[in-house]
Chains A and B, each alone.
Chain A
Amino acid sequence: ETGVTQSPTHLIKTRGQQVTLRCSSQSGHNTVSWYQQALGQGPQFIFQYYREEENGRGNFPPRFSGLQFPNYSSELNVNALELDDSALYLCASSPGLIYGYTFGSGTRLTVV
């Protein structure tokens, strides 16, 4: 068991809509990162939250935003969805910045 749960597992949205993806981390994991994995590619870093504040961001536009809550859950929000946003979105959590990450199974987002 890994203790990182993502919901939903699959989602279909229309271009222009907004979406919220959720992640529940293990107790004590105060660091959470989100990744986008396009088909056939390695995961791409979107952003990271440490103790409820964003402390690192990859090359993604501002319409990708996130939140981390005190109960070790987090959200990834994407506004104005584009077809290229179709991907597997992975959440990874860690007990601290210097430790390794535990990944969730991901949410498969399809934008049509």
Chain B
Amino acid sequence: AQRVTQPEKLLSVFKGAPVELKCNYSYSGSPELFWYVQYSRQRLQLLLRHISRESIKGFTADLNKGETSFHLKKPFAQEEDSAMYYCALKPAGGTSYGKLTFGQGTILTVHP
């Protein structure tokens, strides 16, 4: 079984400050990790995935298999980053191939 834990339900920072949203996972195999974002009154949308190793809207995330973490980081937060962020895991094979397991989400608020 797989599990995704986002320890912070709420996170508040000021504009221009660094932000880190934590995500830890447990899975016995080789996972694929994602970050999804949901802005106010919008649908859930993919922010980034670890296999792409890209930076989207200034956010980056590195998969640390030793610590089983996939923390989302941005050096300088902007007010438009305020949203709900979900970390999600997808197994690479087996009967649950394709199934996304989500964390409970972190509400990020960036104050002016």
Contact = CB atoms under 8 A, between A and B. Distances in A.
B36, B44, B88: most-surrounded residue (chain A CB, <10 A): B44
Given A42-B104, A100-B34, A2 B45 contact: yes
Contacts of B97: 55-56, 97
Contact of B99 (A56, A90, A102): A56
A43 B99 contact: no
A56 B101 CA distance: 13
Given A101-B46, A105-B43, A56 B98 contact: yes
Contact of A100 (B49, B96, B105): B49
B70 interface: no
Interface string B9-52: 00000000000000000000000001010000001111001000
Contact of A31 (B34, B98, B102): B98
A25 interface: no
A27 B103 CA distance: 29
Give the contact-size bracket for chain A.
20 to 34
Interface residues of B, number: 21
A103 B99 contact: no
B44 A97 contact: no
A85 B97 CA distance: 25
A90 B4 CA distance: 19
A95 B34 CA distance: 17
B34 A33 contact: no
Given A101-B46, A104-B43, A42 B105 contact: yes
Nearest to B9: A40
Given A41-B104, A92-B100, A105-B43, 20 more contacts: A31-B98, A33-B99, A40-B104, A42-B86, A43-B44, A43-B86, A43-B102, A44-B102, A45-B99, A55-B95, A55-B97, A56-B95, A56-B97, A94-B98, A100-B46, A101-B46, A101-B100, A103-B45, A104-B43, A106-B43
Q: Which 8 A-B pairs have the closest CB atoms?
A: A42-B102, A103-B44, A105-B43, A97-B98, A45-B99, A42-B104, A43-B102, A56-B99
